[in-house]
Amino acid sequence: MKSEGSGLPPWEFAARGDNVVLEPGVLVFHPENIFIGKHVYVGHQSILKGYYRNEMRIGSGTWIGQQVFMHSAGGLDIGENVGIGPGAKIITSSHQFEDPQTPILHQPIEFKSVIIESGCDIGLNAVILPGVHLGAGCQVGAGAVVSKSFPAHSIITGVPGRIAGTIG
């Protein structure tokens, strides 16, 4: 049985393919800037945090586990057939640190896009930070914190994320 989440009608998204499942408790912000392909699953209590500028694009066949947080202020592009494990976080903005006398909260915000190419798998509770580009077929291990880009078919583990091997 399919669920449509917490009642957001499909026409509020910029685009939404067939067979998209938004489980109960999914929160969506700025759906007018979110493009979702077909056959996408979004698990319970996930947050699709669109932004008034830039776009979030989620490719067809992508599976997003429960309690995932995705923020697209800097732009977020997720390819097709990507798996995103429960509790993962994808962030596209951060505060700059320019003046030590000013609280970080009140410092300028820097926006950087995140690109996750097709066939990637993001492990449980992994964190993808602003400006990261993951090539096709990357595997990010559970709990990894990815702060830089990696080429296709990399196996990324640890804090900070580093190549632990390659696939193939």
- Mean pLDDT per 10-residue section of the chain, whose length is 168 residues: 48 88 91 96 95 95 98 97 98 94 94 98 98 98 98 98 93
The answer to whether the beta carbons of residues 96 and 109 sit under 8 Å apart is yes
Q: Long-range pairs for 23-27 at CB < 8 Å and ≥24 separation?
A: 23/66
Q: What is the spatial distance between Cα 113 and Cα 134, in angstroms, rounded to a whole number?
A: 12
- DSSP letter at 53 equals S
Q: So what's the pLDDT on residue 74?
A: 97
Give the pLDDT score at 168.
Answer: 80
Domain at 10-166, CATH from 3.40.50.300, 1.20.910.10, 2.160.10.10, 1.10.3720.10: 2.160.10.10
SS3 70: strand
Q: pLDDT at position 106, please? A: 94
Enter the pTM of the model: 0.93
**How many angstroms separate the CA atoms of 85 and 17, rounded?**
22
d(CA 79, CA 59): 5
Please list, residue by residue across 121-150, b when 16 or more beta carbons sit within 10 angstroms of its beta carbon and e when fewer do: bbbebbbbbbbbebbbbbbbbebbbbeeeb
Q: What's the confidence (pLDDT) of residue 10?
A: 59
